[in-house]
Amino acid sequence: MKISERHSESVELQPNLSRRALGGLVLSLPLIGAGSALAQTDEAATSILRSLAPHDRAPSGGGGARRRSAPVTRRIRTRSGGMVHEIEIDLSRRVEITVFFDNDSSALRPGAQSALMRLAVALRHPILADQDFLIAGHTSQDGDYDYNVALSQDRAASVRNWLIAYGDIAGDRLQWHGFGPDMLRNPRNPFSPVNRRVEVIAITG
pLDDT at 32: 37
Instruction: Give the mean pLDDT of the chain.
Output: 77
CA distance 149 to 182: 9
Closest residue by Cα to residue 175 from 76, 107, 104: 76
CA distance 65 to 127: 11
CA distance 59 to 148: 36
CA distance 52 to 154: 23
CA distance 177 to 137: 6
CA distance 167 to 185: 27
* pLDDT tens digits, 41-84: 367 778 899 999 998 876 655 444 445 678 899 998 887 667 78
Domain 14-203: CATH superfamily is OmpA-like domain (3.30.1330.60)
Whether 204 shows a pLDDT value over 90: the answer reads: yes
Query: Model-level pTM?
Result: 0.75
CA distance 1 to 87: 31
Residue 143's SS3 state is: coil
HEC secondary structure over 50-112 = HHHCCCCCCCCCCCCCCCCCCCCEEEEEEEECCEEEEEEEEEEEEEEECCCECCCCCCECHHH
CA distance 118 to 122: 6
* pLDDT tens digits, 95-152: 998 787 777 788 888 778 888 999 999 999 999 999 999 999 998 898 999 999 999 9
What's the count of helices (H) and strands (E) in the chain, helices before strands? 5, 6
Cβ neighbors of 197 (< 8 A, separation 6 or more) are 11, 96, 138, 185
- Enumerate the β-bridge partners of residue 94: 201
